[in-house]
Amino acid sequence: MEKPVRIEIEAVTLEGVLGLPEQAKGVVIFAHGSGSSRLSPRNTYVARLLQGAGIGTLLFDLLTSEEDRIYEQRFDIGLLARRLAGATQWLAARPELKGMALGYFGASTGAAAALQGAAQLGSAISAVVSRGGRPDLAMPYLPKVLAPTLLIVGELDVEVLQLNRQAFAKLAGEKELAVVPGATHLFEEPGTLEQAAKLAQNWFSRHLG
């Protein structure tokens, strides 16, 4: 079901993992947060849940290992959004995925890249989910996001929850803000990551195909 892939974008090679269940109803591309990678255990958990629901996944590194050593580049949302768009084009060009609905799942700063990318790609993206994200870092792009968008935030992640509420108000399309009780920023409390993953699964199942 899963296989390693290499994606050529902007003269760099980015490592990824593509998971395709049989008769997938769509594919979700993951944009991880700063300091994380395609091997993020939290994103991997969400990806496996999506695969179990018949949804394909692509987890990939938005930065090379050399680029990731430069702290500022981890927060270069424009760069991350371009890499995400490049991975989207790479995925859409694969013959076995022709015409398949695409979604974005972003965590932390990756959520801003996902929303900026969705705004720029328009109807090419069918749904967006942010988990513990920073959608406020893509504030100018939020009114242009056409894809139905779900923002998932931990109840105890007080500052990020406030930033998500501000960003939520700027989103013009179909949207929902889900607050997970008892969860902090990384959803480390028992059962909270499972709740967030299930919310994401339901959202993508509804909007992809």
What CATH number is attached to the domain comprising 32? 3.40.50.1820
Residue 141 neighbours by CB distance under 10 Å: 19
- 149-154/127-131 β-pairing: parallel
Least confident piece of the model among 83-87, 96-100, 102-106, 116-120: 96-100
Of 116, 118, 130, give the one whose Cα is nearest residue 76. 116
| Enclosing domain of residue 132 | 2-208
pTM greater than 0.75 (yes/no): yes
Report the percentage of the chain scoring pLDDT > 70. 94
- 26-31/2-9 β-pairing: unpaired
Q: What is the CA radius of gyration of the chain?
A: 15
Q: Quote the CA–CA distance of 11 and 191 in Å, as a whole number.
A: 41
For the chain, what is the mean pLDDT?
A: 91
The total of structural domains in the chain comes to: 1
Positive or negative, the CA dihedral 200, 201, 202, 207 is: positive
pLDDT band for position 2 (cuts 50, 70, 90): confident
pLDDT at residue 34 in the model: 61
pLDDT in tens, 18-31: 999 988 989 999 99
Positive or negative, the CA dihedral 188, 192, 195, 200 is: negative
